[in-house]
Amino acid sequence: MSTVPPADAAIETHGLRKSYGRRAAVADLSLRVPRGEVFAFLGPNGAGKSTAVKMLLDLVRPDAGSALLLGRPPSDAGVRRRIGFLPEHFRFHEWLRADEFLDLHARLYGLDAARRRRRIPELLERVGLLESARKPLDAFSKGMLQRIGLAQALLPEPELLFLDEPTSALDPFGRILVRELIRDLRAAGTTVFLNSHLLSEVEATADRACFIRDGVVLRTVGLRELDAGLVHVEARIAGGGPGLVDDLRRIAPDVRVTAPAGPAGDVAGDRWLELSVPREDLLPAIAERIVASGARLYALTPRRLSLEELFVEIVGRDEGR
Amino acid sequence: MTPVGTVAWLTFREARRRRTAVAALVLGVMFLALFITVFSFVTREIAAEVRREGPGAAPVEFAYTILLLAGFYVVHVLAVMLTIFSTAGALAGEISTHVIQTVATKPLRRGEILLGKWLGHGAMLALYIAFLGGGLWLGVRLIAGFAAPGAWTALLLVILEALVLLTVSLILGTRLSTVATGVLLVLLYGLTFAGGWIGQIGNVLQSPSAMRIGQVAAHVLPVETLWRLAAYLMQPPLLAALPVSPFTGGAPPDDGIVGYAAVYVLVGLGIAMWSFERRDL
């Protein structure tokens, strides 16, 4: 059984921009996240991830551009009722007890008494804090605070959930919990916007990852499909016309040619081509073009890049931010 | 409960949880006990004098009113200090600690958060001022059977003072840190306090420029002027003859200041909401 998803995306932005003084935190952010997707936002520190999330949630007002959440502007109260948010700085009214804290936020969401009574214990149990329900938050560890913050974000059974570094304070148990939670939410059709620099977490949960740096989207790659956008190809060839590289660039824009290999015994005039392709099924096309160009093909080795390698490749070198 | 009500209720809960409510109540009770002790001693002495010398020997009502006025003066000072220190962090603190983020992303307008905070703190301050002032009034009433004229109006004016300061505190809190808000409020109050006195002295000396300074001060922050009006309404006729005292001045303050203060609060709330709506959190 499949339902047709609503035409509007969960998140849609056009040219969002925000500068602090002369520095652009987010330079030009255009995104489209379809409903039901787990979408990861990746980038080095200071890339503008948190500012972008804050703009999407109307905490920060953009200098230019527009954003729609579930088809409505982020300031719309009706939309906010359907959105959950766990901020990066999970600081709360720490003089409240855990159950009171959830009750407060449930009231702010406008949940009626019956739903609050049902939802609060349910979520306390879900995040493993049922036994601490009557403890004040100022007695909570950081990890417990992050868990209760997560419960808070889930109160309205959101259609769209923003998680900004949701596991930064969590131990391995907590991380597993978050991972399972994201999977459950995904199965239930919730859209999750995951802001994280823990790549393993993203790899395990996200459908797509968007790489950003200096406030600009560098690339968005799919992580779910088997041939998910992470294929790095090395080809060893000899000969071939001068048009080969240009021809290959039509399939993979980042073709690199390296100098002939050194060890003796190599075929004279051979060279290495390195390129990345978004899908594995493009490999035969690459082989065909190489052969068609008159070159001899000695090796064509696809290698799946880890998300970490991809991160470095897309985002570039560490500049000690 | 509406979102505004929820935020307002939260300030009460915070005061209770942080034990500021208990501390304030304990200190308030101590203050009332001290006042009542002093007042009953004075009453006893006056009664003894009346017994010795016959009625009319002591200006009984004058003494009662002066004592009550002194008590109200303390309530006024406490109201000013309490408002500054209890509200400087109401918004600024939650912004700087990011506590505001989970609240401001809920389905309510930022203006509603601000209004809820204003109502919560305003109601709490009003209740506390009424508790202190009402306690003083009741003490005098029970011990001496004296119902001071103008006391309730004066009490309402002291509450209005607190609301004026609370409003300015929230305006500043939308943009400044807790410390900056508190310091600026103290300075602003200090300046207008001094300006008010300069105006008073100008009144006595008939110096137009000094009187103008007093006028300006009264309009920049109509707190001290509200107190002078409150004191004027309570003062015994004898005291009105004195040119300048902490409680009164030669000329009665214009009671148009009440209307001005009310408009000041409303406009101030509007400015605070406008400023809070527009800032990044």
Residue A269, pLDDT score: 64
Residue B139, pLDDT score: 93
Measured distance CA(A239)–CA(A241) in Å, rounded: 7
List pLDDT tens digits, range B220-241.
999 999 998 898 888 876 666 6
Q: Which residue among A59, A89, A104 sits closest to B105, beta carbon to beta carbon?
A: A59
Measured distance CA(A132)–CA(B182) in Å, rounded: 36
Strand partners, A321: none
| Angle, CA of B68, B74 and B75, to the nearest 5° | 85
Please state, for a pLDDT cut of 90, what percent of chain A lies above it.
43
Residue A2, pLDDT score: 45
For residue B106, the chain A residues in CB contact (below 8 A) are: 80, 105, 108-109
User: B103 at the A interface (CB within 8 A)?
Assistant: yes
Output A54 or A317, whichever has higher pLDDT.
A54
Residue A267 has pLDDT above 60, yes or no: no
The confidence band for A266, taking pLDDT boundaries of 50, 70 and 90, is very low
What distances in angstroms separate CA A61 from CA A194, A195, B25, one per listed residue?
Answer: 21, 19, 42
Q: Which residue among A89, A108, A136 sits closest to B98, beta carbon to beta carbon?
A: A89
The confidence band for A252, taking pLDDT boundaries of 50, 70 and 90, is confident
List pLDDT tens digits, range B18-64.
888 899 999 999 999 999 999 999 888 888 888 888 776 667 888 88
User: B44 at the A interface (CB within 8 A)?
Assistant: no
User: B2 at the A interface (CB within 8 A)?
Assistant: no
Could you tell me if residue A315 is left (phi over 0), alpha (psi between -120 and 50 degrees) or otherwise beta?
alpha
Average pLDDT, chain B: 90
A-B Cβ pairs (cutoff 8 Å, strict): 65
Residue A230, pLDDT score: 63
Residue A100, pLDDT score: 94
Contacts of B130 (CB under 8 A, 6+ apart): B155, B159
Residue A300 has pLDDT above 70, yes or no: yes
User: B13 at the A interface (CB within 8 A)?
Assistant: yes
**pTM for this model (two decimals):** 0.84
User: B101 at the A interface (CB within 8 A)?
Assistant: yes
Residue B121 has pLDDT above 90, yes or no: yes
List pLDDT tens digits, range A174-221.
889 999 999 999 999 999 999 987 888 888 889 888 888 888 888 888
For testing contact with chain B, the best of A59, A102, A148 (most B CBs within 10 A): A59
List pLDDT tens digits, range B145-181.
888 888 999 999 999 999 999 999 999 999 999 999 9
Q: CB distance B281–A59 less than 8 Å? A: yes
Q: CB distance B102–A95 less than 8 Å? A: no
Q: How distant is the Cα of B5 from the closest Cα of chain A, in angstroms?
A: 10
Residues A39/A191, Cβ–Cβ less than 8 Å: yes
ipTM of the complex: 0.85
Measured distance CA(A60)–CA(B109) in Å, rounded: 14
For residue B105, the chain A residues in CB contact (below 8 A) are: 57-59, 80, 83, 85
User: B108 at the A interface (CB within 8 A)?
Assistant: yes
User: B58 at the A interface (CB within 8 A)?
Assistant: no
Report, as an integer, the average pLDDT of A139-166: 94
Q: CB distance A54–B281 less than 8 Å? A: yes
Q: How distant is the Cα of B15 from the closest Cα of chain A, in angstroms?
A: 10
Residues B169/B84, Cβ–Cβ less than 8 Å: yes
User: B21 at the A interface (CB within 8 A)?
Assistant: no
- B112 SS3 class: helix
List pLDDT tens digits, range A62-97.
999 999 999 999 999 899 999 999 999 889 999 999
Residue B58, pLDDT score: 63
Strands (DSSP E) contained in chain A are 11-20, 23-33, 38-42, 64-69, 83-86, 160-164, 191-195, 208-213, 216-222, 231-238, 256-258, 270-277, 296-304
Residue A301, pLDDT score: 85
Residue A144 C-beta-side C-alpha neighbours within 13 Å: 16
Residues A207/A38, Cβ–Cβ less than 8 Å: yes
Q: Which residue among A60, A78, A108 sits closest to B280, beta carbon to beta carbon?
A: A60
Q: CB distance A107–B105 less than 8 Å? A: no
Residues A93/B14, Cβ–Cβ less than 8 Å: yes
Residue B251 has pLDDT above 50, yes or no: yes
Measured distance CA(A147)–CA(A92) in Å, rounded: 12
Residue A279, pLDDT score: 74
Q: How distant is the Cα of A172 from the closest Cα of chain B, in angstroms?
A: 25
Residue B16, pLDDT score: 87
Q: Which residue among A54, A61, A87 sits closest to B102, beta carbon to beta carbon?
A: A87
Which strand (E) or helix (H) includes residue B248?
strand B248-249
Q: How distant is the Cα of A108 from the closest Cα of chain B, in angstroms?
A: 6
Q: How distant is the Cα of A143 from the closest Cα of chain B, in angstroms?
A: 17
Q: CB distance A85–B14 less than 8 Å? A: no
Residue A227, pLDDT score: 43
- A211 SS3 class: strand
Residue A228, pLDDT score: 53
Strand partners, B242: none
Residues A53/A164, Cβ–Cβ less than 8 Å: yes
List pLDDT tens digits, range B186-223.
999 999 999 988 988 888 888 899 989 988 988 999 99
Q: CB distance B107–A149 less than 8 Å? A: no
For testing contact with chain A, the best of B1, B13, B97, B101 (most A CBs within 10 A): B101
Q: Could you tell me which residues of chain A have a Cβ less than 8 Å from any Cβ in chain B?
A: 54, 57-61, 77-78, 80-81, 83, 85, 87, 89, 91-93, 95-96, 100, 104-105, 107-110, 136, 149, 152
What distances in angstroms separate CA B274 from CA A76, A189, A223, B237, one per listed residue?
Answer: 18, 38, 44, 46
